[in-house]
Amino acid sequence: MTRLILALLALLLIVLISVWYASSRHPRHVAVIWYGFSLALTGTLLVGFWAEYTDAINSSGVAQGEKGELVLRVLNVFAHPL
């Protein structure tokens, strides 16, 4: 759990530094990039929490049953949207 928290904090720090750097040069681009990033992050987190709550994926990350297959299909949409 602490690795997850550290990874999330590192990701947040990287995002904040990138936004700060880019906002001084291209303020309109930051809004578009932030929208796409936050949408993808929110969707992925919701699917992840749903998968853990319904036991669709075990602790090793292996899909379990029909719910697990559904989770993998949804995550595949995030990975390959077109």
> Which tens digit of pLDDT belongs to each residue from 20-79?
887 788 777 777 777 888 888 888 888 888 888 888 888 887 888 898 888 888 878 877
Q: The pTM is what?
A: 0.55
- DSSP assignment, residue 13? H
Strand partners of residue 63: 57
User: What mean pLDDT is predicted for residues 2-12?
Assistant: 86
